[in-house]
Amino acid sequence: MGGPGHFAPNGRCASRPIAFWISRMNVLILGSGGREHALARACARSPSLGKLIVAPGNPGCAEVARTVPLDLADHAAIVALCERETIDLVIVGPEAPLVAGVADDLERAGVACFGPSRAAAQLEGSKGFTKDFCREFAIPTAAYGRFRSRNEAKAFIRARGAPIVVKADGLAAGKGVTVAETVEEAEAAIDGLLPASGESSAEAVVEDFLDGEEVSFFALCDGVSATAFASAQDHKRVGEGDTGPNTGGMGAYSPPSLMTAEMADRVMREIVLPTVRGMAARGTPFRGVLFAGLMIGSDGPKLIEFNVRFGDPETEAILERLDDDLLPWLAAAAKGALPGGSPAFSADAALTVIMAARGYPGEPLLGTRIAGIAEAERLPGVAVLQAGTRRAGDDIIANGGRVLAVTARGPTVREAQERAYAAVDQIRWPEGFFRRDIGWRAVARERAAGP
């Protein structure tokens, strides 16, 4: 088992200019979803890994790492775990601990953290903050207003007309957004967010509707510079054909054909790099992964929102395509020392289908038994990543809304999709459901283009 000062003389690690003789790192991943299972699998493959702990993790994470129960709101307990286990690097999965300042608390304790400080996590924590930031640094995004008064918000809505978008300011797990087709619908959304009279402590952002296709774009940032990581498209609606209520994401695929090398360069130049420079200029440097939710329209990419962590389920698909050693990249970003170049990805596609518990995104049915995971994983190019699961003896039990992230790789999105659904069909779980059409846009494009 390695700690700081243990060296692994091997030539397999890092085709990159990070280190030739690299010291092994003890790594703690915070979180318990499919994203964290995917991160844990990628770290477990790394020649530069010492020990790997996921807290609190899930039964999938437990196959590649030690899992430790932990309340992610208890930063003192996180720091104590790091000290006890001589952790060199903490990788933070979800946004809530970042917005609550876990990176600051780790820094005070001398532990490197992949994930931004509380001040830099405002890029996800407050939509108003991000809109003002975009205005200051000329980052393309929808025109907007910020409101604490109902009347002022409604006057703005009537002046701009519909379609128009109304958002709650703070973290709302994807539930604080109304894309209104009519002025009346937008006004009703304002009624739900702001009190009838006077100034409220709550805030609403109202912004223009952006037309185009959405892409999730990820860049690694070290406080002063950034490198493109990968991009994906996810399916946020619960129903096939992208209908019904929003969810955390019902599936994803990577790469999206829209994200050509030229488009990725543009996103880096127009959105990511100005953000990293702007945050540094303000004295709140951004370290970690910047997740830009983009709308790609006829006049190029515009920012819908930033997240300050990896996407879920995008990460499950993206990491299946990673042909590089993830860990040195994340460590370099955390330590403010990204090398030149960017991580290597396969030209293959990868596609993730989320299997959710009946009732999701409302009240999911918990406690039902899932069979067939091992059979699904025996199929070539398939990984079954676990999210809301728990173990009871030999059984895997549904323990959340999004439960499995069934992922497959293939030379085209169509083949990745076929393999992913062949794997889904191996899973015996009558109380679960999934969408049959993940990747439909890309598959239709491939059909139109190819033989």
Six-digit token string for 9: 């003389």
Decide if residue 214 touches ligand AMP (CB under 6 A): yes
Amino acid 221 reads C
Q: Is 281 exposed, middle or buried (0-12, 13-18, 19+ CB in 10 A)?
A: exposed
Q: Is-contact 62 74, C-beta < 8 A?
A: no
Q: Distance from first CA to last CA of the chain, Å, rounded?
A: 52
What does the DSSP 8-state code read for residue 371? B
Are 183 and 243 in contact by the 8 Å Cβ rule? The answer is no
We find the least distance from the C-beta atom of residue 11 to ligand AMP, in angstroms, to be 43
Least distance to ligand AMP, CB of residue 237, Å:
9
Which residue in the block uniquely carries the two structure tokens 């990293």?
276
- Residue 312's binding partner, choosing from ligand AMP, ligand GLY, none, with beta-carbon cut-off 5 to 8 A by kind? ligand GLY
# binding residues, ligand GLY (CB under 6 A): 6
Q: Which is nearer to ligand AMP, 119 or 177 (CB)?
A: 177
Other CB atoms within a 10 A radius of the CB of residue 386 amount to 27
**Toward ligand GLY, which CB reaches closer, 306 or 421?**
306
Q: Answer yes or no whether residue 312 interacts with ligand GLY by CB under 6 A.
A: yes
Instruction: Look at the alpha carbons of 65, 66, 70, 76 in this order and tell me if their dihedral is positive or negative.
Output: negative
Report if residue 36 touches ligand GLY, rule: CB under 6 A: no
396 bridge partner residues: 370, 391
Adjacent-strand bridge partners of 164: 180, 208
**Which part of the chain contacts ligand AMP (CB under 6 A), choosing from 70-78, 171-179, 342-350, 436-444?**
171-179
Residue of the chain from 140, 311, 400, 401 that contacts ligand GLY (CB under 6 A): 311
Nearer to ligand AMP, 293 or 372 (CB): 293
Stretch that binds ligand GLY, among 26-34, 109-117, 220-228, 306-314 (CB under 6 A): 306-314
Q: Which does 314 bind (CB under 5 to 8 A by kind): ligand GLY, ligand AMP, none?
A: ligand GLY
Six token digits for residue 361: 């995104």
Kindly write out the interface string for residues 57-86 of this chain, putting x where it contacts ligand AMP by CB under 6 A and - elsewhere.
Answer: ------------------------------
Decide: is 247 part of the binding site for ligand GLY (CB under 6 A): no
Range 313-372, binding ligand GLY (CB under 6 A): 314
User: How far apart, in whole angstroms, are the C-alpha atoms of residue 247 and residue 422?
Assistant: 24
Binding map of ligand GLY across residues 216-235, x = CB under 6 A, - = no contact: ------------------x-
305 binds ligand AMP (CB under 6 A): yes
> Residue 213: helix, strand or coil by DSSP?
strand
Which tokens hold the place of 181? 């087709």
Minimum CB distance to ligand GLY smaller for 133 or for 291: 291
Cβ partners under 8 Å of residue 282, min gap 6: none
Quick one: the chain helix, strand, coil %, rounded to 5? Answer: 30, 30, 40
Q: Least distance to ligand AMP from the beta carbon of 142, Å?
A: 4
59 is a site residue for ligand GLY (CB under 6 A) = no
Q: Give min distance, CB of 426 to ligand AMP, in A.
A: 31
Quick check: helix, strand or coil at residue 388? Answer: coil
Which partner in ligand GLY, ligand AMP, none is near 142 (CB below 5 to 8 A by kind)? ligand AMP
Nearer to ligand AMP, 61 or 142 (CB): 142
84 conformational bin, left if phi > 0, alpha if psi -120 to 50, beta if neither: alpha
Sort 262 into a burial class: Cβ within 10 Å, 0-12 / 13-18 / 19+: exposed
Q: Rule CB under 6 A: is residue 249 a binding residue for ligand GLY?
A: yes
Sign of the CA dihedral 30, 35, 41, 46? negative
Instruction: List interacting residues with ligand AMP (CB under 6 A).
Output: 142, 165, 167, 174, 177, 179, 207, 209-210, 214, 236, 293, 304-305
State the residues that interact with ligand GLY by CB under 6 A. 234, 249, 307, 311-312, 314
